Amino acid sequence: MLTKADISISEVIASLSSFRVEAGFLVPTPTGLEKSILDAHEDLRIFLAKSGLHYFDHQGQGPENKVKIPANIITESGVIGSFASLYRPNTKSGDPRIWISKLNAHSKPWNLIALFVSNGQLFVFNASDPTVWKSMNNTNSPLYLALMSAGSNYSLVETELLRKLKEIEAAGFVRSTTNAASGVGDTLEKLLGISRNSSKNPDYKGIEIKASRRNNPNQTQRSVLFSMVPNWGISELKNGAEILETYGYLSPATKQVELYVTVKHQPNRQGLFLDLDAKNGLIVNVHQCNGTRKPVVSWKLNELQEELSKKHKQTFWVKAKNRPESGHEYFHYFEVMATASPFVSYFGPLVLSSQISMDYTLSTKLRPSGAPFARDHGYLWKIANNSFESLFPPPRIIDLAKLTI
């Protein structure tokens, strides 16, 4: 049936091979499109099995054994959600059948339909459609991005984001949007077109982005995981103002009461430290003074783990070289460390080993009336940079200058 395709399959194979992509093919007949049923020929069955998507040899006959798997139909301008039905009828010795929902709207009889897999997902496109086929040469098209993703083992979103980061790397040093410590992250977000907001969701289509300076002697070698306020309902102190009033100090620079300190498992100068209450599933900030210990605030361990899992399902840790120039700071973003699916059960033990810590960022501000109030910049949970592989599976290190994508 493939020989009846209305375009040269060898030319399609050559183009797909240039992307390092292996594909399976279908050629719908008029009857197949009319009845929404196509023969799953042997080459296609081998392709599906090799990709790990479906094994017809292990499938029973009859409608009760039908299998549906997610599929994505690529057009010249987008990706349409679909599914593939895979089954063996009770008749004709159970000859394997396949149908891709919505295929009728995107194909004609004798068109060559290509199927390929990227990150475990099935993608489908009509190679006979001139507009779809030509879009393969457009580096911003859905087909190009999907094929690049399939050939490089990057997802579609990863491919899109890495291409943007590569363009940023190629631009060299760029001026920071601010002279504050947050400039390395703020500048990258602006370059990526990400608006500042208070959302706790990942920054870029499901990918969290964290930027940091490389080898800055004034920067502690820790990275922020997330910010989470204490669980006030189970805490001794009930808000940031009480924490500031009890443990804050007078800043010589601002002449205001502040509390900018790191809290680890070992007591700091204020006598504050973190402890794990395994029996009750809590991380507790404890104060120690003259041999006496008392709880300050607490977090539920499972809530910390949930936030870690939600925030860092997939993260790009972007490294930047920095340099001062004419009173401003400039950044050159050059490397990405990509992590995924943290080992949340290690959170508590890493707190006990002081590899995970929490920073208070509290200060006193004055209202227009002159009345003071506590300004809360977050309760920042951080990890030591040399402990990444204790919390995350081995990361992928991506040199943006050498990246081909």
65 lies in some domain: yes
On whether both 245 and 148 belong to a single domain, the answer is no
* Residue ranges of the chain whose pLDDT lies below 70: 1, 92, 197-200, 215-220, 366-373
- Is 208 within the bounds of a domain? yes
Q: Quick check: 353 and 218 in contact, CB under 8 A?
A: no
- Give CA–CA dist 168/185, Å, rounded: 13
Q: At which of 113, 137, 153 does a domain end?
A: 153
Instruction: Kindly state the tokens that stand for 194.
Output: 């990400």
Structural domain harbouring 184: 160-399
- Position 210 in a domain: yes
Torsion of CA 43, 46, 47, 50, to 10 degrees: -160
Same domain for 77 and 205, yes or no, is: no
Give domain status of residue 363, yes or no.
Answer: yes
Encode pLDDT of 198-231 as tens digits.
566 778 989 999 999 985 444 457 899 999 999 9
Residue 405 lies in a domain: no
Q: What is the pTM of this model?
A: 0.71
Q: Same domain, yes or no, for 201 and 298?
A: yes
Let me know whether 131 and 182 are in one domain: no
Confidence at residue 404, expressed as pLDDT on a 0 to 100 scale = 81
Is residue 404 situated within a structural domain?
A: no
The pLDDT of residue 19 is 87
* Same domain as 136, residue 187: no
Which residues are bridge partners to 258 per DSSP? 249, 363
CA gap 199, 210 in Å, rounded? 15
Measured in Å, how far apart are the chain's first and last C-alpha atoms? 35
> Which residues, in sequence order, are CB contacts of 156 under 8 Å at separation 6+?
79, 118, 142, 145, 146, 149
- Does 244 lie in the same domain as 142? no
Residues 331 and 278 in one domain: yes
Residue 207: CA atoms inside 13 Å, Cβ hemisphere, count? 24
Q: State the Cα–Cα distance between residues 249 and 8, nearest whole angstrom.
A: 76
Find the helix packing angle between 156-170 and 142-152, rounded to 10°: 90
Together in a domain, 253 and 363: yes
Number of domains making up the chain: 2
Same domain, 170 and 271: yes
22 and 112 share one domain: yes
- 124 and 164 share a domain? no
User: Could you tell me which residues are beta bridge partners of residue 338?
Assistant: 316, 396
The CATH number that applies at residue 389 is: 3.30.70.3570
Non-local (6+) Cβ contacts of 368 within 8 A are: none
Q: Minimal CA–CA distance to 158: which of 392, 314, 317?
A: 314
Based on the domain organization, do 194 and 297 belong to the same domain? Answer: yes
Q: Which two tokens stand for residue 213?
A: 């300076």
Q: What is the distance, to the nearest Å, from the Cα of residue 353 to the centroid of all Cα atoms in its chain?
A: 27
- Looking at 97, 127, 153, the residue that finishes a domain is 153
* 8 Å CB contact between 114 and 124: yes
CB 296 within 8 A of CB 286: yes
Maximum Cα interatomic distance, the chain, rounded to a whole number of Å: 88
Q: Which of 125, 153, 181 is the last residue of a domain?
A: 153
Strands (DSSP E) contained in 264-327 are 272-277, 282-289, 292-300, 314-325
